[in-house]
């Protein structure tokens, strides 16, 4: 009997996954992993590992049954050791094409909230202060504001589609975006340093790789305008958290709005929790009732494909041998 283990999931039910397991006479287990050791134990002898946020290390992958598979609930693959999967011929599939609209909506909402100073204005009213200009200044006109996109893939383009009617202009740092795409969207290509020194708000939409880890560091934060805001709904590891905390605490940049963090859940000891110019949401940008259902349906489909001997709908891009 094939064994399917869900390492972790933040969904109301696993009905789609159970239906696929039943169709193939497989056993579905919920492991509720809290640590790397939990994932290793859950993977032992498993045919298919379904993972949301848990870290799937080489040690865990070595425990999988031969010819096994890993299915990722979501877009990123940085929590899976793809090199180890390739070495053991473990198939990895993911769901890169769900919740695009939800993430774009959340990102645009964070940008508008940060630039319009909604949080400090709300706080001031609750504290008995009635001083819009004193609390919020400076507030730039959207028609005079530039959004800098670090990465301009599917989600980045959707974000700008939402912002463009407000009058924003856009600059983009993305070596993989062609001139035709930029021209069609109305954005302009620049290098990273120009983007950081020019934009009024910077939004991150890059994958997390060794090349992009801590892409936002002390040096780049120093390039930003003191009135600028930083938005991240992509991957927490794109930002050096200590450098960002210092820049916010010293008011070297105006604000940051973060939905993702290098360590999740955000530690209780994180100084970001205590900064009034940091807007924090708990990795929620992907969420809507429709998105959850779509994600689980597509993940369950990958399980069905593997058990049926069919190709993956969305195979993970595997690293080249070193």
- Catalytically annotated residue among 264, 273, 290, 310: 264
Exposure of 252 by Cβ count < 10 A (0-12 exposed, 13-18 middle, 19+ buried)? middle
Concerning whether 250 is annotated as a catalytic residue, the answer is no
Tokens describing residue 316: 């993970």
Asked if 56 and 73 count as a contact pair (C-beta separation under 8 A), the reply is no
- Catalytically annotated residue among 18, 24, 86, 283: 283
Torsion angle of the four alpha carbons 64, 2, 99, 174, in this order, in degrees rounded to the nearest 10: 30
Concerning whether 30 is annotated as a catalytic residue, the answer is no
- Catalytically annotated residue among 157, 205, 235, 306: 235
- Residues near 155 by Cβ (< 8 Å), separated by ≥ 6? 100, 103, 104, 107, 205, 233, 234
Chain center to CA of 210? 16
Tokens describing residue 14: 């696993």
DSSP 280-300: E--S-TT--HHHHHHHHHHHH
Q: Quick one: CA dihedral 13, 15, 20, 24, positive or negative?
A: positive
DSSP count for the chain of H helices, then E strands: 13, 12
Concerning whether 29 is annotated as a catalytic residue, the answer is no
Cα–Cα nearest to 8, from 98, 81, 79: 79
Q: What residues are paired with 189 via a beta bridge?
A: 172
Q: Which residues are catalytic?
A: 235, 264, 283
């Amino acid at each position: 009997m094939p064994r399917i283990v869900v390492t972790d999931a933040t969904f109301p039910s696993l009905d789609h996954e159970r239906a696929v397991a039943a169709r193939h006479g497989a056993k579905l287990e919920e492991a509720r992993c809290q640590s790397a050791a939990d994932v290793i134990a859950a993977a032992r002898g498993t045919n298919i590992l379904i993972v949301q946020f848990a870290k799937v290390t080489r040690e865990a992958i070595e425990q999988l049954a031969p010819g096994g598979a890993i299915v990722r609930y979501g877009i990123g693959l940085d929590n899976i050791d793809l090199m180890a999967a390739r070495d053991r011929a473990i198939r990895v599939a993911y769901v890169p094409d769900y919740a695009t609209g939800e993430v774009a909506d959340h990102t645009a909402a964070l940008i508008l909230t940060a630039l319009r100073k909604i949080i400090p204005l709300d706080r001031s009213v609750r504290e008995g202060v009635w001083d819009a200009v004193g609390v919020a200044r400076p507030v730039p006109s959207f028609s005079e504001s530039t959004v800098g996109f670090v990465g301009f893939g599917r989600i980045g383009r959707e974000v700008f589609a939402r912002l463009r009617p407000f009058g924003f202009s856009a600059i983009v740092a993305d070596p993989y975006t062609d001139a035709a795409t930029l021209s069609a969207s109305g954005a302009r290509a620049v290098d990273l340093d120009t983007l950081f020194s020019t934009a009024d708000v910077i939004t991150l939409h890059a994958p997390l790789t060794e090349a992009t880890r801590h892409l936002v560091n002390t040096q780049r934060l120093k390039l930003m305008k003191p009135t600028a805001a930083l938005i991240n709904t992509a991957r927490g590891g794109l930002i050096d958290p200590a450098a960002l905390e210092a820049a916010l605490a010293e008011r070297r940049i105006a604000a940051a709005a973060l939905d993702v963090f290098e360590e999740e859940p955000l530690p209780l000891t994180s100084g970001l929790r205590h900064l009034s110019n940091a807007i924090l949401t708990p990795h929620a940008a992907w969420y809507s009732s429709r998105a959850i259902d779509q994600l689980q349906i597509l993940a369950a489909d990958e399980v069905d494909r593997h058990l049926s001997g069919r190709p993956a709908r969305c195979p993970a891009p595997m690293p080249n041998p070193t």
